């Protein structure tokens, strides 16, 4: 995890512009580099480094003797860089996994490069010999990327929008900053003036398609074409374990977020099992956050005891949570209600990890709810086919919601996130299964995933079959949800009259509650006029919901009520 930033064709002094690059310094607390591009005085790269692999040669932009005309700035981890080296006979000059991008590009161009990378990434690749700039982002947008491109060809690119919004440019008072689409690459011509012109934006991978890099995967071909239940369950276990194993690539200590729900518990259990097999010398640190006696804390305690991790509990009160709201919204760059609620706990636990431990690479369970139909409203899906379509829609929009939350809250404290449920091969296999197999069964969501691990003894049965609890709710007590605590506080902060006139003030995505008005106010304070970064609020479907919390749905039933 790191922060990348680049400008092409800047009319303003670069020493002034580079102050914007410092807005993302939290993403790379270990080192910073600012480098001009030879022959293009108005083009430059900025890089904030979190050193996870190759402590000696990991600075960027990456340049190697073999390709002196290539410049690479990337944020991410390429898990199959050694397999690609073996497959194509690449001669690496560093231990940096991202170096493979230069070799792939030299061998087969940008299309093959983006398609063959098994990992999470956002990158800027400059080819001065052919006068091209390439931008690319991984399938689910696990690593963030924003860009601004003006009519006269000034291009700014950054890991977070906050590094672009204050750029100076002669012809535009407020250039439009927008997220770069996941699963796409863009080709731009670089003119002698340093300005650029977009040539094409191409979607290189759809999450339903088996990725091209399967040809050099460490897992051999699985039995396919058969949807026999035992075969399916075995394939799910094999692919998920492989997804965790490949993400163990790190020279820094590994930890794991643990809410005590199914997803994070499975990640932690498989992670610890593999760390033992690989003889990793230190114990796995797991981290849970919640208010006193919250369901998540109690469940996480059970899981940690079962798997034998070094467990840490972070207990916070409502005042600490409320005080963090503005910092959280600034970090997130969104005003989505459920994203803000869920981010507060994750932001506070990440802060604890950074201050109190030496864990830097943090595993988490994001992506499972979208992939395996884990949200409670899936019980109301009219048909398996519509449930499958909804699952795909959620995956497509992950970069706007859960993946955004997970990246920004951890990156704000210089941590690197790893999300095995969003492994390309695991997700494409799961989505290839018949729609009927993937739906909730017997009133239980994620039934197939739970069933697949039932005989593994990885988790206690009551955790494996624990009902869905939204992270933003599970951190509080059953008696009073986190969203209720927030609403009670905000009710005193926002006047009724302000809410009545909200549509006049905020015509796009107008707030309909005091809570959403409060978040929007804070967002506009830091990112005025950028409300279009969020196309719509996250809300459950097929139910008449006025609030995104799972606890407001009729199906919700806490363990303490049973």
In this predicted model, what pLDDT tens digit does every residue of 339-357 receive, in sequence order? 999 999 999 999 999 999 9
Q: Which of 99-103, 128-132, 472-476 has the lowest mean pLDDT?
A: 472-476
Strand partners, 188: 133, 198
CB 319 within 8 A of CB 348: no
The pTM of the full predicted model, rounded to 2 decimals, is: 0.94
- 3-state SS of 451-516? HHCCCCCCCCHHHHCCCCCCHHHHCCCCCCCHHHHHHHHHHCCCCHHHHHCHHHHCCCCCCCCHHH
What does the DSSP 8-state code read for residue 444?
B
Q: What does DSSP say about strands 310-315 and 285-290: parallel, antiparallel, or unpaired?
A: parallel
Please indicate if the annotation marks 110 as binding a ligand: no
Q: In this predicted structure, what is the pLDDT of residue 54?
A: 56
Of the pLDDT bands very low, low, confident and very high (cuts 50, 70, 90), residue 549 is low
For residue 238, how many other CB atoms are within 10 A of its CB?
Answer: 15
State mean pLDDT over 270-281.
96
Task: Give the chain's largest Cα–Cα span.
Answer: 70
Please give the CATH number for the structural domain made up of 3-203. Answer: 3.60.20.10
What does the DSSP 8-state code read for residue 248?
T
Please indicate if the annotation marks 329 as binding a ligand: no
| Neighbouring residues of 129: CB distance < 8 A, sequence distance ≥ 6 | 69
State mean pLDDT over 357-385.
96
User: Please, which contacts does 48-52 make with residues 24 or more away whose CB atoms are closer than 8 Å?
Assistant: 48/2, 48/3, 48/5, 48/21, 48/24, 49/2, 50/1, 50/2, 50/360, 50/414, 50/416, 51/251, 51/252, 52/1, 52/77, 52/250, 52/251, 52/252, 52/360, 52/361, 52/416
Q: What is the mean pLDDT of the chain?
A: 92
Give the closest residue to 163 by CA, choosing from 301, 388, 6, 392: 6
- Based on the residue annotation, tell me whether 43 is a catalytic residue of this protein: no
Per residue in 132-164, pLDDT (tens digit) is 999 999 999 999 999 999 999 999 999 999 999
Peptide bond preceding 61 in cis form (omega within 30 of 0): yes
CATH topology classification for 228-491: Rossmann fold (3.40.50)
Euclidean distance between CA atoms 304 and 266, whole angstroms: 11
Of the pLDDT bands very low, low, confident and very high (cuts 50, 70, 90), residue 207 is confident
CB 313 within 8 A of CB 288: yes
The residue assigned the tokens 């270990």 is: 30
Q: Which regions of the chain carry the CATH code 3.60.20.10?
A: 3-203
Give the closest residue to 309 by CA, choosing from 278, 276, 358: 276
Please indicate if the annotation marks 257 as binding a ligand: yes
State mean pLDDT over 244-272.
96
- 3-state SS of 271-294? HHHHHHHCCCCCCCEEEEEECCCC
Q: Which regions of the chain carry the CATH code 3.40.50.620?
A: 228-491
Higher-confidence position of 135 and 14: 135
State mean pLDDT over 186-201.
97
Looking at 2, 43, 44, 73, which residue is catalytic?
2
């Amino acid at each position: 995890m790191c922060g990348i930033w680049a400008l092409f064709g800047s009319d303003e002094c670069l020493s002034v512009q580079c102050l914007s690059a410092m807005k993302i310094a939290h993403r790379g607390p270990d080192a910073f580099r600012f480098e001009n591009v030879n022959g293009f005085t108005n083009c430059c790269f900025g890089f904030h480094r979190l050193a996870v692999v190759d402590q000696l040669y990991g600075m960027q932009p990456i340049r190697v003797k073999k390709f002196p005309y290539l410049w690479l700035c990337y944020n991410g981890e390429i898990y199959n860089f050694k397999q690609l080296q073996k497959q194509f006979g690449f001669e690496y000059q560093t231990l940096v996994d991202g170096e493979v991008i230069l070799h792939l590009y030299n061998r087969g161009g940008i299309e093959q490069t983006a398609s063959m990378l098994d990992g999470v990434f956002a990158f800027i690749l400059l080819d001065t010999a052919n006068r091209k700039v390439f931008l690319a982002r991984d399938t689910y947008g696990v690593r963030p990327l924003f860009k601004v491109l003006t009519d006269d060809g000034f291009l700014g690119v950054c890991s977070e929008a906050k590094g672009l919004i204050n750029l100076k440019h002669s012809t535009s008072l407020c250039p439009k900053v927008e997220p770069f689409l996941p699963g796409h690459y863009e080709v731009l011509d670089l003119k002698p003036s340093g300005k650029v012109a977009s040539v094409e934006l191409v979607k290189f991978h759809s999450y339903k398609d088996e990725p091209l890099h399967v040809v050099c995967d460490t897992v051999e071909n699985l039995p396919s074409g058969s949807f026999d239940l035992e075969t399916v369950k075995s394939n799910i276990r094999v692919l998920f374990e492989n997804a965790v194993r490949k993400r163990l690539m790190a020279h820094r200590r590994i930890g794991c977020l643990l809410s005590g729900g199914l997803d994070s518990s499975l990640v932690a259990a498989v992670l610890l099992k593999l760390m033992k097999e690989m003889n990793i010398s230190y114990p796995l640190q797991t981290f849970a956050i919640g208010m006193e006696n919250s369901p998540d804390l109690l469940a996480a305690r059970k899981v940690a005891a079962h798997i034998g991790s070094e467990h840490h509990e972070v207990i916070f009160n409502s005042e600490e949570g409320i005080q963090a709201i503005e910092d959280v919204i600034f970090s997130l760059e969104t005003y989505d209600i459920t994203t803000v609620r869920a981010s507060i706990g994750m932001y506070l636990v990440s802060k604890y990890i950074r201050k109190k431990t030496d864990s830097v690479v943090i595993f988490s369970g994001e992506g499972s709810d979208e992939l395996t139909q884990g949200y409670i409203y899936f019980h109301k899906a009219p048909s398996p086919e519509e449930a499958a379509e909804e699952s795909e829609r959620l995956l497509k929009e992950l970069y706007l919601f859960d993946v955004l939350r997970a990246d920004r809250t951890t990156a704000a404290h210089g941590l690197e996130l790893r999300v095995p449920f969003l492994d390309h091969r695991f997700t494409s296999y799961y989505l290839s299964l018949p729609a009927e197999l993937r739906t909730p069964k017997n009133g239980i969501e994620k039934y197939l995933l739970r069933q697949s691990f039932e005989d593994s003894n990885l988790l206690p049965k009551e955790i494996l079959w624990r009902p869905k609890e939204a992270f933003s709710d599970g951190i509080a007590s059953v008696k009073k949800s986190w969203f209720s605590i927030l609403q009670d506080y905000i009710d005193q902060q926002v006047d009724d009259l302000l809410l009545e006139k909200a549509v006049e003030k905020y015509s796009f995505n107008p707030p309909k509650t005091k809570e959403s008005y409060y978040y929007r106010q804070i967002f506009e304070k830091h990112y005025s006029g950028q409300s279009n970064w969020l196309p719509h609020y996250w809300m459950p479907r097929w139910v008449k919901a006025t609030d995104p919390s799972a606890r407001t749905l009729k199906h919700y039933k806490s363990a303490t009520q049973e």
